[in-house]
Chains A and B, each alone.
Chain A
Amino acid sequence: MTAANGAPTLVVDGLQTHFHTRAGLLKAVDGVSFTVEKGRILGLVGESGSGKSVTGFSIIGLVDPPGRVVGGRILFNGEDLAQASESRLRDLRGNRIAMIFQDPMMTLNPVLRIDTQMVEALQAHQKMDRATALARARDALGQVGIPSPDERLKSYPHQFSGGMRQRVAIAIALLNRPDVIIADEPTTALDVTIQAQILFEAQKLCREVGTALIWITHDLSVVAGLADEICVMYAGKVVEQGAVDRVLDHPLHPYTRGLIGSVPSRNRRGQPLTQIPGMAPSPLALPAGCSFRPRCPRADEGCKVPPPMAELAPGRYARCIHPHLEEAAAA
Chain B
Amino acid sequence: MTVFLIRRLMQAVVVLFVMSLIVFIGVYAIGNPIDILISPEADQIERERAIEALGLHLPMWEQYLVFLQRAVTGDLGRSFAFSTPALELIVERMPATLELAIAAMGISILVGIPLGMWAGFRPESLAGRAIMAGSILGFSLPTFWVGLMLIMVFAVHLGWLPSTGRGETVEFLGLQVSIFTLDGWSHLLLPAFNLALFKMALVIRLTRAGMRENLLMDYVKFARAKGLSTGRVIFVHVMKNIMIPVVTILGLELGSVIAFAVVTETIFAWPGMGKLIIDSINQLDRPVIVAYLLITVSMFIIINLVVDILYSVLDPRVRLKEMKS
Task: Select which of A98, A103, A110, A120 is within 8 A of B228 by beta carbon.
Answer: A120
Contacts of A172 in B (CB 8 A): 226
Chain B at the A interface: SS class: helix
Q: Which B residues touch A111, using CB under 8 A?
A: 240-241, 244, 314-316
Minimum Cβ distance to chain A for residue B122 (Å): 12
Contact residues in A for B317 (Cβ distance below 8 Å) = 110, 156, 158
- Is there contact, CB below 8 Å, between B227 and A93? yes
B10 contacts partner chain A, Cβ-Cβ < 8 Å = no
- Please pick, from A62, A91, A156, the residue contacting B225 in the complex, using a CB distance under 8 A: A62
Q: How far is the CA of A99 from the CA of B226 in the complex (A)?
A: 8
Chain A, Cβ-Cβ closest to B244: A111
Complex: A110 Cα to B232 Cα, angstroms? 16
Residue from the list A90, A99, A108 in contact with B229, Cβ < 8 A = A90
Q: Report chain A residues within 8 Å CB of B237.
A: 109, 112
For the complex, what is the distance from the CA of A107 to the CA of B217, rounded to whole Å?
8
A169 near B: Cβ within 8 Å? yes
- Pick the contact of B227 from A103, A112, A121, A156 — CB < 8 Å? A121
How many residues of B sit at the interface, in one of the four size bands? 20 to 34
B222 & A124 in contact (Cβ 8 Å cutoff): no
> Does B171 lie at the interface of the complex (its beta carbon under 8 Å from any beta carbon of A)?
no
Interface residues of A in 216-273 (CB under 8 A from B): none
Q: Cβ of A120 and Cβ of B316 under 8 Å apart?
A: no
Most A Cβ at <10 Å: residue of B217, B227, B229: B227
Asked whether B321 is an interface residue with its Cβ less than 8 Å from the other chain, the reply is no
A95-144, CB < 8 A from B: 95, 98-99, 101-103, 106-113, 120-121, 124-125
Q: Are B229 and A124 interface neighbours, CB within 8 A?
A: yes
**Also in contact, A109 and B227, with CB within 8 A (given A101-B222, A120-B232):** no
Nearest residue (CB) in A for B315 is: A111
Contact check: which of B222, B228, B229, B316 meets A169 at CB < 8 Å? B222
A109 touches B223 (CB 8 A): yes
Contact (Cβ within 8 A) B236 A112? yes
> Are the CB atoms of B224 and A107 closer together than 8 Å?
no
| Contact status B241-A95, CB under 8 Å | no
Tell me which residues across on chain B come within 8 A of A93, comparing CB atoms: 224-227
Chain A residue at minimal CB-CB distance from B314: A111
User: Closest approach, in angstroms, between the C-beta of A315 and any C-beta of chain B?
Assistant: 32
Q: Are A158 and B316 in contact (CB under 8 A)?
A: yes
A18-34 contacts to B, CB under 8 A, are none
Are the CB atoms of B226 and A108 closer together than 8 Å? no
Interface residue ranges, B against A (CB under 8 Å)? 217-219, 221-229, 232, 236-237, 240-241, 244, 314-317
**A residues whose Cβ falls under 8 Å from a Cβ of B:** 60, 62, 90-95, 98-99, 101-103, 106-113, 120-121, 124-125, 156, 158, 169, 172
28 A–B contacts from the bound complex (CB under 8 Å): A62-B225, A90-B228, A90-B229, A93-B224, A94-B226, A94-B228, A95-B227, A106-B217, A107-B218, A107-B221, A108-B222, A109-B223, A109-B237, A109-B241, A110-B219, A110-B315, A111-B314, A111-B315, A111-B316, A112-B237, A120-B228, A120-B236, A124-B227, A124-B228, A124-B229, A125-B227, A158-B316, A172-B226
